[in-house]
Amino acid sequence: MQQFIDPLTLARVKDMPLVARTVAQGVLHGQHASQRRGAGIEFSQYRVYEPGDDLAKLDWKLFARSDRYFVREAERESNINVWLVIDASASMAQISAASAAQGGWNKFDYARYLLATIGFLAQQQGDAVGLLGLSTAAPSYFPAMAGEKHWQALMLALARMRSGGRFPAPAMVQAQLGRMRHHGLVIVVSDFYQQDNEVVDFASQLTGPNTDVVGITLGCEDETTFPYTGTLRFEDRETGQQVLVSGDEARATYLENRGEFQQQLSVQLQRLQIQQVLTDIEQPLDQVLHAFLRARQQVN
């Protein structure tokens, strides 16, 4: 799959709506026809304009690039709520050393821009979009509504959001959970690091016959490869607990434990019928969005 904008390039662009539109339009122009009818973020292909087509469906930006008229076809009319849920706990500030040296994104920033793009896709097809930022430090809630003006306000709320604290227990967000248990789609973006299974417990309370839940699990290169050598002191961002280790001696054990963690998480989400998209923040956003859209097409 062709990569058109990588995270390091996007990190230099601070305008969140601009990044979201740029990435989304690139994805849409390469998207194939949907294989099913369903709820939320379901796009089909572009086709050449034919006399009698609704002029409102013409893509003028695509016309500017190709000098041809194209119409974006939709599988169905959308009338659902799409909830963008971001883990805003302190662990989401993790960034790989290579990305940090080049001014790249940490997990939290990557998650914000990814959700901004998904939000743009949703509002383009008429879905109502809501936002929930989850942390004990500064929880954030934005109601689900439709329209360009609402999306712009949601982007402002997302841009102002900061990470810190821990992921809250589900009991702390019961009011928000009640508003989200309706016909819709919930996208939870998190590294799924948890002390008492709180992230999975939160997601489990949203599953049901009228709600689809997708868990986008973020990692970074340093976590997946453990490139550290020599004597190191690691600190848990959320508890402050520190441990002194030898990087060379700890690597094999760490990678084995991480593999078990990922396997157990995948089993948990599968049992709850929560679709999982695994990615590292070094991957281009368009690749992650293609994986997300493929997952949406596989919903029964």
Q: Both 259 and 282 in a single domain?
A: yes
Highest mean pLDDT: which range of 234-248, 250-264, 285-299: 250-264
pLDDT higher at 281 or 9: 281
What tens digit of pLDDT does each residue of 212-253 get? Answer: 899 999 999 999 999 999 999 999 888 889 999 998 999 999
Query: Is 17 a domain residue?
Result: no
Residues 243 and 97 in one domain: yes
Does residue 200 share a domain with residue 68? Answer: no
Same domain, 90 and 208: yes
Give the chain's mean pLDDT: 82
pLDDT above 80: residue 278: yes
Q: Is 293 left (phi over 0), alpha (psi -120 to 50) or beta?
A: alpha
- Find out whether 94 and 107 touch, Cβ atoms under 8 Å: yes
- At 292 the pLDDT is 81
Residues 70 and 85 in one domain: no
| Predicted local confidence at residue 231, as pLDDT | 94
pLDDT of residue 35: 36
Residue type, position 66, single letter: S
CB 70 within 8 A of CB 56: no
pLDDT, tens only, 12-54: 777 788 778 778 777 666 554 333 334 455 555 555 666 766 6
Answer yes or no: do 136 and 180 share one domain: yes
**Ranges 138-142, 246-250, 286-290, most confident:** 246-250
Mean pLDDT of 72-99: 81
Which residues lie closer than 8 Å to 219 by C-beta, 6 or more apart? 191, 278, 279, 280, 281
- In terms of domains, do 53 and 150 share one? no
In degrees and rounded to multiples of 5, residue 216 shows phi and psi of -95, 110
Query: Which of 136-145, 171-180, 208-217, 248-257 is least confident?
Result: 171-180
pTM for the model stands at 0.80
For residue 154, what is the domain's CATH number? 3.40.50.410
- The verdict on residue 20 lying in a domain is no
Instruction: Output the six-digit token pair for 293.
Output: 């859209």
- 179 and 68, same domain (yes or no): no
Q: 24 in a domain, yes or no?
A: no
Q: Is residue 130 part of a domain?
A: yes
Query: Does 93 share its domain with 46?
Result: no
Has residue 236 been placed in a domain? yes
Structural element, H or E, at residue 279: strand 275-280
Report the alpha-carbon distance of residue 284 to residue 157 in Å, rounded: 24
How many helices (H) and strands (E) in the chain? 11, 10
pLDDT of residue 19: 79
Residues 186, 58: one domain?
A: no
Q: CA separation (Å) from 44 to 27, 75, 161, 287?
A: 11, 6, 32, 17
Q: How far apart are CA 88 and CA 104, in angstroms?
A: 18
pLDDT category at 211 given cuts 50, 70, 90 is confident
Instruction: Determine the pLDDT at residue 36.
Output: 34
Of the listed ranges 64-73, 152-161, 263-272, the least confidently predicted one is: 64-73
pLDDT of residue 276: 93
CA nearest to 187, candidates 217, 148, 155: 217
In this structure, are strands 184-190 and 81-87 parallel, antiparallel, or unpaired? Answer: parallel
User: Among all chains, which residue has been given the structure tokens 């002194």?
Assistant: 244
pLDDT band at 177 (very low <50, low <70, confident <90, very high): confident
> How many Cβ atoms are within 10 Å of 233's Cβ, its own excluded?
8
Residue 38 sits in which domain range?
Answer: 29-74
Report whether pLDDT(271) > 50. Answer: yes
Pick 251 or 289 by higher pLDDT. 251
Q: Are residues 172 and 54 in the same domain?
A: no
Res 268 pLDDT > 90: yes
Query: Percent of the chain scored above 70 by pLDDT?
Result: 81
Please give the pLDDT value at position 239: 87
Distance between CA atoms of 40 and 30, rounded to whole angstroms? 19
In this structure, is residue 242 part of a structural domain?
yes
Number of domains in the chain: 2
Q: What is the dihedral of CA 287, 282, 119, 65, to 10 degrees?
A: -50
Within-domain flag for 18:
no
User: Which ranges of 82-232 does DSSP label H, i.e. alpha helix?
Assistant: 97-101, 107-124, 148-160, 174-180, 198-204, 221-225
Same domain for 171 and 65: no
Question: Is there a domain that residue 112 lies in?
Answer: yes
| pLDDT above 50 for 77 | no
